[in-house]
Amino acid sequence: MTISEAREKVFSGEVKLRQIVEQYINKIESDNEEINAFVYTDFEGALAQAEEVQNRIDEGSAGKLAGVVMGIKDLICERNKPTTCASEILEGFESVYDATVIKRLKAEDAILIGRVNMDEFAMGSTNEYSKYGAVKNPNNTEMVPGGSSGGSAATVAADMATATLGSDTGGSIRQPASYCGIVGLKPTYGRVSRYGLVAFASSFDCIGPLSHNVEDAARILDVIAGFDERDNTSSHREKSDYVHAVQNPQKNIKIGVPEEFFGEGLDDEIKKSIEDILSKLEAGGAELVPIHLPHTKYGIATYYILATAEASSNLARYDGIRYGHRANKDEMVDELKLEEQALTEKVAAAVGEEKIALQKELAMMDSPLARLYKKSRTEGFGSEVKRRIMLGTYVLSAGYYDAYYGKAQKVRRLIQNDYKEAFEKVDVIVSPTAPTTAFKLGEKLDDPVQMYLNDIFTTTANLAGICGISVPAGTHSNGLPFGIQFMADAFEETKVLNAGRLVELLK
């Protein structure tokens, strides 16, 4: 059910909002056990909200999202509800305030029915790295839903909510939208406040909607976009009329077709479908402009250096002191004592240089507090998060900073320049959202590099800070959906929404 369908039903009086909420509750109760998208639900709260919003509908004072039932990715804070980022380290954590996007959704009468699964701290492309277990793709439950907003995408695809919020750091909204056959919008960096979003990589992270169609994405963006004095990276620019852009799409747009995005590694059927779509858009009045984005192939390497570096810094806050998992103190103290004893004995037995080295080691032993940090973090973080913290710490460490982090920041500028130049000639740039359709659960878990390469078409938008949308493009002969991506210059969300709408109109 789309937002306009839901609103039509409740505003015409055909059904009460309570019935819509009950319909979703039934759907979640029947399907979620298998899909594993929701990790926390608040049905009672949702039904209570429904009564309040119904009153406002009856009075004629209801907000723009009255009638809409949403799931929220488990890294956006909702007061008095758990926010765990699908990590053991935040087991039991309850937010003490609402994120700005949550305040804005509530102010427009959206009903928030629960929290949805994700890759731990949004680090992953398959939603397999979650303390709650993997999310299944509703189109075929042997397949991954994509990630990291896999729960957000699967929720919409299985129609367990009208729409969801996700976050996109390197493709985490658009790639799962592609795999699940729905719409995912990554707004421009700074378009949507991140106050209350748990930080992964601060120069990349964006909050955005996942929805059944392009208009729904526009309706949600309209509510969540705009300056927030609590987020200094949010932009003062006025938002545009996103819904109007979708309802009145221009057909004579200039679409840049970058050669670099249609080369090796791209599934043939996906390539052909996108070419077909482009021919039809051209026949409808669009102009196709061949362009070049020569630094595309450096996107993944650049992204994974910068994003892991930022993550290692952001995740330093999880120390087991103020919140989150804390290792057992008594065990830790005993362990430390034993280690100290063993080392002291070794020192006594050793001679010469070895003795000096061991003495040094003994002097450098962790204090109880330092060991508590280490044990809490080691127990609390999952394998992929630890891998990224380690990589990020490594690339920032003395002696390697210039070679990795500094270098990547420079290449990031070259990538952004590619886009700036391209957008002088075209309105939007088209590409596949992902090189393939969804793959089997477990298939890429053993090879981090293969896993990272999956983000090849999406990370550059985050590197450049621009906006992008994934819209369903078709169904593969393997039965799975795939998306087409449009990117536009910073703050030109109306252009990607417009282009996405044109694709919908072809059907």
Selected from 283, 349, 357, 369, the binder of another protein by CB under 8 A is: 369
**Is 148 part of the annotated catalytic residue set?**
yes
Q: Which residue has the tokens 């380290």?
A: 89
Nearer to another protein, 12 or 232 (CB): 232
Site for another protein in 315-354 (CB under 8 A): 316, 319-326, 329, 332-333
Selected from 24, 93, 439, 486, the binder of another protein by CB under 8 A is: 93
Spatial separation of the C-alpha atoms in residues 384 and 368, rounded to whole Å:
27
Q: What are phi and psi of 218, to 5 degrees?
A: -65, -40
Binding mask 467-496 for another protein (x = CB under 8 A): -----------------------x------
Element (H, E) at 432: strand 428-432
Q: What are phi and psi of 302, to 5 degrees?
A: -60, -50
Spatial separation of the C-alpha atoms in residues 140 and 480, rounded to whole Å:
8
Q: Is 408 in the site for another protein (CB under 8 A)?
A: yes
Q: Is 194 in the site for another protein (CB under 8 A)?
A: no
Q: Is 92 in the site for another protein (CB under 8 A)?
A: yes
DSSP state of 88: G
Site for another protein in 434-453 (CB under 8 A): 447-449, 452
> Smallest gap, in angstroms, from Cβ of residue 369 to another protein?
5
Spatial separation of the C-alpha atoms in residues 10 and 67, rounded to whole Å:
6
Sheet holding 163-168, edge to edge: 38-41, 111-116, 69-73, 163-168, 206-211, 183-186, 467-475, 481-488, 428-432, 254-258, 287-291
Token duo for residue 221: 């963006």
Element (H, E) at 291: strand 287-291
CB 17 within 8 Å of CB 109 = no
3-class SS of residue 186? strand
Binding mask 349-368 for another protein (x = CB under 8 A): ------------------xx
Nearer to another protein, 56 or 374 (CB): 374
| Segment interacting with another protein, rule: CB under 8 A, options 1-9, 87-95, 174-182, 420-428 | 87-95
Nearer to another protein, 96 or 283 (CB): 96
Nearer to another protein, 73 or 326 (CB): 326
Site for another protein in 371-400 (CB under 8 A): 371-375, 377-378, 381, 386-387, 389-391, 393-394, 397, 400
Spatial separation of the C-alpha atoms in residues 311 and 201, rounded to whole Å:
5
CB 490 within 8 Å of CB 496 = no
Q: What is the CA radius of gyration of the chain?
A: 24
Selected from 103, 412, 444, 495, the binder of another protein by CB under 8 A is: 412
Amino acid letter, 338: L
Selected from 97, 254, 289, 347, the binder of another protein by CB under 8 A is: 97
Residues in binding contact with another protein, number by CB under 8 A: 76
Nearer to another protein, 59 or 264 (CB): 264
Marked catalytic residue, from 87, 125, 130, 148: 148
Spatial separation of the C-alpha atoms in residues 96 and 85, rounded to whole Å:
15
Spatial separation of the C-alpha atoms in residues 453 and 267, rounded to whole Å:
14
Selected from 240, 273, 302, 436, the binder of another protein by CB under 8 A is: 302
Marked catalytic residue, from 87, 125, 172, 240: 172
Spatial separation of the C-alpha atoms in residues 48 and 396, rounded to whole Å:
49
Selected from 35, 57, 429, 464, the binder of another protein by CB under 8 A is: 464
Spatial separation of the C-alpha atoms in residues 149 and 72, rounded to whole Å:
10
Where do runs of H (alpha helix) occur along 225-290? 242-247, 268-283
Helix axes 43-59, 17-35, angle to 10 degrees: 150
Site for another protein in 241-300 (CB under 8 A): 295, 297-298, 300
Q: Is 131 in the site for another protein (CB under 8 A)?
A: no
Nearer to another protein, 369 or 505 (CB): 369
Closest C-alpha to 250, from 506, 495, 485, 429 = 495
CB 66 within 8 Å of CB 10 = yes
Selected from 291, 305, 307, 497, the binder of another protein by CB under 8 A is: 305
Q: Is 170 in the site for another protein (CB under 8 A)?
A: no
Selected from 414, 425, 478, 506, the binder of another protein by CB under 8 A is: 414
Q: Is 202 in the site for another protein (CB under 8 A)?
A: no
Selected from 141, 250, 409, 475, the binder of another protein by CB under 8 A is: 409
Spatial separation of the C-alpha atoms in residues 502 and 469, rounded to whole Å:
13
Nearer to another protein, 236 or 507 (CB): 236
Site for another protein in 215-234 (CB under 8 A): 229, 232-233
Selected from 124, 187, 190, 209, the binder of another protein by CB under 8 A is: 190
Q: What are phi and psi of 69, to 5 degrees?
A: -115, 125
> Smallest gap, in angstroms, from Cβ of residue 153 to another protein?
25
Selected from 292, 410, 425, 440, the binder of another protein by CB under 8 A is: 410
> Smallest gap, in angstroms, from Cβ of residue 126 to another protein?
17
What is the set of active-site residues?
73, 148, 172
